[in-house]
Amino acid sequence: MVTYKSPREIELLKVAGNVVYQTHQYIKPFIKEGITTKEIDRLCEEFIRSKGCTPSFKGCEGFPNAVCTSVNDCVVHGVPGDYKLKNGDIITIDIGACYKGYHGDSGWTYAVGDISEEDKLLLKYTEEALYEGIKAAKVGNRVGDIGYAIEQYALAHDMDIVEEFVGHGVGTDVHEDPQVPHYGDKGTGMLLKEGMVIAIEPMLSMHSAELYILDDGLTAFTEDGSNVAQYEHTIAITKDGPIILTGDDSNG
Ligand code: MG
Ligand code: MG
């Protein structure tokens, strides 16, 4: 069931989203060769709690940690552990925070030291694909218009889209209806209305985005070992256009 948020609820979602944004800013300087993904998780969890929030993903659908740390060909739901980041890695840190029962959700891919020219493009294009999707998230458009915008951008850059994992509504649950695929046809799917809050989170590869899921039922990797980047914002759909809730304050 899709819920439409009141202005009061959007204010709470903004607080949660802003803590997610601040957590990303906090962790960024730590993303260097030698740090373990477990240490990144611990630092993020401490920071989220210091802001009066709880980590949304801890215990969510069986996920054991506060944040997801997905390195290189790990597509999503990387479980933090003893892996030490190496120069040339890329890592997606997916962060969720809950404030007074309302969530924010944003994943971002970071370069560890010097990355390949191909990965630089992968990061740049995937981030741009997210903003193409956000631009399409307007009152009167449909869910399929968001996916269409992302898919057209990805195709224009000869990239492959992960289809198994999709964006979603965000509210008092971190994953709510509707599902928001990162591919689609113009003018199809649910109508976008004022008060909808959704996470858009394209995952793209420069090669094949075919994937397999580990026995834990959570963590996904690409079949051919190619790297995947992901950028995600939680946004509110308003009559004045989309507002990014997990971005810089000055952005709304
Ligand atoms: Mg996320
Ligand atoms: Mg999400």
Q: What is the mean pLDDT of each run of 10 residues along the chain (252 residues)?
A: 96 98 98 98 98 96 94 96 98 98 98 98 98 98 98 98 97 97 98 98 97 91 97 98 88 42
CA of 84 to the centre of ligand 1 (A): 22
The answer to whether the CB of 150 falls within 8 A of the CB of 163 is no
Could you tell me which of 39, 30, 34, 31 has the C-alpha nearest to residue 86? 34
Instruction: Please name which ligand lies nearest the alpha carbon of 230.
Output: 1
CA of 199 to the centre of ligand 2 (A): 5
Q: Give me ligand 2 centre to Cα 107, in Å.
A: 7
Nearest ligand to the CA atom of 63: 1
151, part of any domain: yes
Q: Using omega within 30 degrees of 0 as the cis cutoff, is the peptide bond preceding 202 cis?
A: no
Q: How far is the CA of 208 from the centre of ligand 2 (A)?
A: 22
Which residues have C-beta under 5 Å from ligand 2, the single-atom ion? Answer: 105, 199, 201
CA of 95 to the centre of ligand 1 (A): 6
How many Å lie between the centroid of ligand 2 and the Cα of residue 232?
A: 7
Q: From 159, 157, 203, select the one nearest 180 (Cα to Cα).
A: 203
Report pLDDT for 248. Answer: 83
Measured in Å, residue 24 CA sits from the centre of ligand 1 at: 12
Residue 112 in domain = yes
176 found inside a domain: yes
Residue 125: predicted pLDDT: 98
Report CA(96)–ligand 1 centroid distance (Å): 6
Whether 94 maps to a domain, the answer reads yes
Domain extent for 43: 7-243
Q: Is position 88 within any domain?
A: yes
Cα–Cα distances in angstroms (integers) from residue 117 to residues 77, 110, 123, 217, 247, in the given order: 25, 14, 10, 32, 27
Q: How far apart (Å, rounded) are the C-alpha atoms in residues 14 and 93? A: 20
Q: Which ligand is nearest to the CA of 179?
A: 2
Give the ligand whose atoms come closest to the C-alpha of residue 24. Answer: 1
How far apart (Å, rounded) are the C-alpha atoms in residues 107 and 203?
10
Query: How many domains are contained in the chain?
Result: 1
Q: For the chain, how big is the Rg over CA atoms in Å? A: 17
Domain assignment present for 162: yes
Ligand 2 center to 120 CA (angstroms): 23
Q: Which two tokens stand for residue 184?
A: 């689609």
Ligand 1: distance of its center to the CA of 187 in Å?
Answer: 26
Residue 2 resides in a domain: no
Centre of ligand 1 from the C-alpha of residue 5, in Å = 20
Task: Give domain status of residue 225, yes or no.
Answer: yes
Is 241:86 a contact under the CB 8 Å cutoff? no
**Separation of 105 CA from ligand 1 center, angstroms?**
5
CATH code, domain with 46: 3.90.230.10
**Amino acid 252: pLDDT:** 40
Report the separation in Å between the CA atom of 33 and the middle of ligand 2, taken as the mean of its atom positions: 27
Q: For the whole prediction, is pTM greater than 0.75?
A: yes
pLDDT value for 73: 97
